[in-house]
Structure 1
Amino acid sequence: MSTSQGRPSPYERLRADAEAGRVEEVIVAVPDLQGRLQGTRLSVPYFLDEAASPKDPTESAGSHPAESGGGFGACVYLLASDVEMDTGPGYAIDAWNIGFGDFSLRPDPATLRTPPWDEGTALVLADAVWPGGEPVEVAPRQLLRTQLDRLATDGLRAYSGTELEFLVFRESYREAWNRRYNGLETATSYNVDYSLQGLAEIEPVARRIRREMVRAGLSMETARAECHPGQYEIVFRYDEAMTTCDNHVFFKNGAKEIAAQEGVALTFMPKFDEGEGNSCHIHLSLRGADDSAVLADPDADGGMSELMRHFVAGQLACLADFALLMAPNVNSYKRLQPGGFAPTGITWGRDNRTCPVRVVGSGHSLRIEHRVPGGDANPYTATAAAVAAGLYGIENRLPLPEPHTANALADPSVPRLPSTLTEALHRWENSEIAAKVFGEAVVGHYAQAARAELAAFESAVTDWERVRGFERL
């Protein structure tokens, strides 16, 4: 089937690539709770004839969609597990209680692309659906889609961009693992923020990442070294919010694969050591159904429309309650501490990088930059949180306080963000706004993910404890 413009559809292009010998396999992947890609390789004929062939699941009553076409079966625990792939009770999906059965991964043809670093392979992202065809509501992609659908009801569309930072080390992933990630050597020796020198050892892998992402269809805007030794940032052009998040997980997965092939290691973790952390600033704007710049009003104070003022006010009102969706791990909060260049309070400012919500741009580019998420953020849940917060402000016509014009990091009068995962979990579980906006199942599911993370951390013995207590206690 061709597109409405007469161009070949993604699957027609895939079939042509397969017949020409350019593609042999298709990876069907679903973004998990951590924003990682989990999936399976399928032969191209099987993918096109079975997984990519949609059918009404009611045609075969009681059968799995993967068996009746239009999906591929995958175990339900993929969306109910922690970083170690451990699952258990407490999630909205109780894998043990339902016998580790399957849901169906339904490919989204709009996400099909060929990673240059994986020759002969195509990759497509999928949505998780239950046997009856209902979406799995706790799936990160569905979480975002639900909020975007709410926007669409009001005639609005969200556009976003994510800015991911990462650290590059000279050791391979295997060497880093064997060292338990201690004593690693960064690819640069000192602060190279904006520098054009001192990048000889980081540039080969960074150049390959840039080039191969562009070859895969991403539109790069900028790339530069950052503050922490070995730190780098690549920024890709904004797009509709779902597309941006899809590109984000594709980039993050691919960057690690390229690094491994180059014999080096890179990490997106928010806080690797006591130096500068890895952020993931999210830029978010809204447009009308007619593509109008609904956030801008050239005649208003600061060029911000009344809609935008409510939208920003909603960010502030919900930030503490929704922090868990933006900072989901113990390490997330090591970055959000005083003394670093990451937000610690709840306020907003016009082009003020010390605020968690920074307003920048004008006209169609007028937007917020959400500075809370780190490199570990799941882009779908973080963006869903920002969209939901903005809608809360719009629907309740929340007033916007005056912008912060000074250093918000050093102002004790600014209300504080949650400073630990425990505090963020408490705010999330007890939030009436979260329950109303996301539903009790989603709140409980992501609360369990946080509890699993905390339980793992609290049972671990750290290097800090050994240095502090081995000899002196």
Structure 2
Amino acid sequence: MDIEALRVAVGQQEIDTVVVAMTDMQGRLQGKRFHAQFFLDEVTEHGTEACAYLLAVDTEMNTVDGYDLASWDNGYGDFALEPDMATLRVLPWQPGTALVLADVMALDSGGPVRVSPRQVLRAQTDRAAALGWTALAGTELEFLVFEGSYEQAWDQGYRGMVPANRYNADYSVLGTGRIEPLLRDIRNSMAGAGLTVESAKGECNPGQHEIAFRYAEALTTADHHVIYKTGAKEIAASRGYALTFMAKPNAAEGNSCHIHLSFRDAADGSPVMAGDGPYGLSPLGASMLAGLLAGLRELTLLLAPTINSYKRYASGSFAPTTVAWGPDNRTCALRLVGHGPSLRVECRVPGGDVNPYLAVAGLVAAALSRVPEAQGAAGQLAELPPPVTGNAYALTGLPRVPGTLEEALALWESSALAAEAFGADVVRHYATMARVELEAYRSAVTDWELRRYFERI
């Protein structure tokens, strides 16, 4: 939908509400609902404002210390939300409603707020564009569906929840048929919102499913990702289900978010990474894959942002533990898939809790870190280590995927790659986010501790 189509829809009383939303650090949509005519009269030209604390709070929306952007010391002022009209679309699951995503801008300078997730990704895709390349990405999100509402799950302390499927329904047509009305509603609603839906399938954990969407330019994919997550939850709630993208909701298989990455020449659309070298890689593609391998541990904080993220990583779980690559090898952190123009790298580290803007930005930055031209210098392309063709879980002597948020934070703060690619302000901002998460976790007393120690210690 463009702005003229919106004017027509408003005039015909088909649209009465426009949501203006930014994406916060946790990958959630935050914003305002406007009367559609006011949006057309005022917001399209002047934008709107929101409290800068939206990029300086924890998951519970608590104000916390440590952020340069917003604090009690500087009075928690506003920043501007500038609608990106290219993202304007109807939301079929919210009658009479359209949505537009916004870029976060500073009120004083009018420039972008660099720590905003959408701006973090823009900065990296701009680096690729300066080389004449377009970064392409696709995200594959898994989710678990439980019977009953979100409110019921909250009130019962998330105990005794009943999955929508009682058994492993991986690829099962019968199993997905059990909740096809929900899956169909999500698929068709997302298509109506302008996303290109590919398929839906069952997954391993009881009640677990995946809906796949076509790849796109990296920023578009991240935009679609956050719209889909919000929409899927709202549609599930309307049908009496609670749907979660949490990385590890229970002891069974967690929810992954595999991210596919490739690059195309912006002028003629030819693939940058594919060639006639080993495994179908070009020399440049091999060097990019080497960069991804070298940078993965340092940038894991962008791929696994919560305490819960790290509980996915276990041998035999299809969540990686070893920083390795392999052609079509699902035991590796980086899986090379596709052939010819479709050749791409699949990063299997992120879970369903990932912020797609930050994760894709990290992968683009790592890939470009071994491209001499991207570093402003001539030089040799990096040599790609040999692939792993067997069970990567069983290997010793290779780098490991960070096992805790503490480890990922330490690697992030000491990373020369992160400092160079993102800047000290972005590194400091997301280090603060991780530190806040860790301190909240350390202060919590869990059900596990009560059961284990209350009487018997």
- Please tell me the TM-score bracket, short chain as reference: over 0.9
CA contact (8 A) 1:408 1:414 kept: no
1:381 aligns with 2:358: yes
1:453 aligns with 2:437: yes
The equivalent position to 1:183 in structure 2, one of 160, 178, 182, is 160
State the alpha-carbon separation in 1 of the partners of residues 277 and 407 from structure 2.
Answer: 38
Stretches (4+) displaced over 4 A: none
The equivalent position to 2:369 in structure 1, one of 370, 388, 392, is 392
The match for 2:346 is 369
CA contact (8 A) 2:153 2:159 kept: yes
The equivalent position to 2:24 in structure 1, one of 28, 32, 55, is 32
The equivalent position to 1:196 in structure 2, one of 163, 166, 173, is 173
CA drift of 1:274 comes to 0.8
- Give, as a single letter, the amino acid of the residue that structure 2 aligns with 1:146: A
Give the TM-score normalised by structure 1: 0.93
Larger CA deviation: 461-470 vs 145-154: 461-470
1:87 aligns with 2:63: yes
- Give, as a single letter, the amino acid of the residue that structure 1 aligns with 2:43: A
The equivalent position to 1:328 in structure 2, one of 305, 310, 320, is 305
State the alpha-carbon separation in 1 of the partners of residues 178 and 315 from structure 2.
Answer: 32
State the alpha-carbon separation in 2 of the partners of residues 313 and 92 from structure 1.
Answer: 34
SS at 1:197 equivalent: helix
The equivalent position to 1:413 in structure 2, one of 366, 382, 397, is 397
State the alpha-carbon separation in 2 of the partners of residues 346 and 199 from structure 1.
Answer: 33
Structure 2 alignment gaps of length 5 or more = 373-379
The equivalent position to 2:295 in structure 1, one of 318, 342, 347, is 318
CA contact (8 A) 1:92 1:442 kept: no
The match for 1:111 is 87
State the alpha-carbon separation in 2 of the partners of residues 438 and 18 from structure 1.
Answer: 41
CA drift of 1:200 comes to 4.5
The match for 1:125 is 101
CA drift of 1:409 comes to 1.2
Q: Deviations over 1:226-257 (max 9, x none)?
A: 00000000000111110011000000000000
CA drift of 1:136 comes to 0.2
SS at 1:52 equivalent: helix
Larger CA deviation: 208-217 vs 348-357: 208-217
Q: Deviations over 1:292-342 (max 9, x none)?
A: 111111x32221001100110001111110000010000000012334220
> Where do residues 18-97 of structure 1 align in structure 2 (5 Å cutoff)?
18-53=10-45, 69=46, 71-97=47-73
The match for 2:74 is 98
The match for 2:116 is 139
> Where do residues 268-307 of structure 1 align in structure 2 (5 Å cutoff)?
268-289=245-266, 290-297=268-275, 299-307=276-284
Provide the aligned C-alpha RMSD in A. Answer: 1.1
SS at 1:292 equivalent: coil
1:226 aligns with 2:218: no
CA contact (8 A) 2:176 2:201 kept: no
CA drift of 1:201 comes to 3.6
State the alpha-carbon separation in 1 of the partners of residues 292 and 429 from structure 2.
Answer: 23
Structure 1 alignment gaps of length 5 or more = 1-8, 54-68
CA contact (8 A) 2:175 2:202 kept: no
The match for 1:441 is 425
1:401 aligns with 2:385: yes
SS at 2:296 equivalent: helix
The equivalent position to 1:463 in structure 2, one of 428, 444, 447, is 447
SS at 1:448 equivalent: helix
Q: Deviations over 1:78-132 (max 9, x none)?
A: 1111101112221231332221211100000111111111001111000000112
CA contact (8 A) 2:84 2:101 kept: yes
State the alpha-carbon separation in 2 of the partners of residues 19 and 356 from structure 1.
Answer: 51
- Give, as a single letter, the amino acid of the residue that structure 2 aligns with 1:452: V
- Give, as a single letter, the amino acid of the residue that structure 2 aligns with 1:447: A
State the alpha-carbon separation in 2 of the partners of residues 363 and 239 from structure 1.
Answer: 18
Q: Deviations over 1:27-53 (max 9, x none)?
A: 000000010000001112221222211
State the alpha-carbon separation in 2 of the partners of residues 203 and 169 from structure 1.
Answer: 14
CA drift of 1:417 comes to 1.2
SS at 1:309 equivalent: helix
State the alpha-carbon separation in 1 of the partners of residues 315 and 224 from structure 2.
Answer: 32
CA drift of 1:202 comes to 2.3
- Give, as a single letter, the amino acid of the residue that structure 1 aligns with 2:16: E
State the alpha-carbon separation in 2 of the partners of residues 201 and 97 from structure 1.
Answer: 54
Larger CA deviation: 246-255 vs 354-363: 354-363
State the alpha-carbon separation in 2 of the partners of residues 231 and 353 from structure 1.
Answer: 19
Larger CA deviation: 209-218 vs 182-191: 209-218
CA drift of 1:20 comes to 0.6
State the alpha-carbon separation in 2 of the partners of residues 128 and 443 from structure 1.
Answer: 18
The match for 2:406 is 422
Q: Deviations over 1:351-371 (max 9, x none)?
A: 000001111112221100010
SS at 1:321 equivalent: coil
State the alpha-carbon separation in 2 of the partners of residues 304 and 110 from structure 1.
Answer: 34
> Where do residues 260-271 of structure 1 align in structure 2 (5 Å cutoff)?
260-271=237-248
State the alpha-carbon separation in 1 of the partners of residues 136 and 271 from structure 2.
Answer: 11
The match for 1:167 is 144
State the alpha-carbon separation in 1 of the partners of residues 66 and 316 from structure 2.
Answer: 36
CA drift of 1:444 comes to 0.4
The match for 2:4 is 12
State the alpha-carbon separation in 2 of the partners of residues 393 and 50 from structure 1.
Answer: 46
CA contact (8 A) 1:23 1:122 kept: yes
CA contact (8 A) 1:90 1:444 kept: no
Larger CA deviation: 212-221 vs 164-173: 212-221
State the alpha-carbon separation in 1 of the partners of residues 242 and 64 from structure 2.
Answer: 31
State the alpha-carbon separation in 2 of the partners of residues 195 and 338 from structure 1.
Answer: 24
CA contact (8 A) 1:115 1:122 kept: yes
CA drift of 1:207 comes to 1.5
State the alpha-carbon separation in 2 of the partners of residues 122 and 95 from structure 1.
Answer: 32
CA contact (8 A) 1:168 1:202 kept: no
State the alpha-carbon separation in 1 of the partners of residues 409 and 454 from structure 2.
Answer: 32
State the alpha-carbon separation in 1 of the partners of residues 179 and 409 from structure 2.
Answer: 37
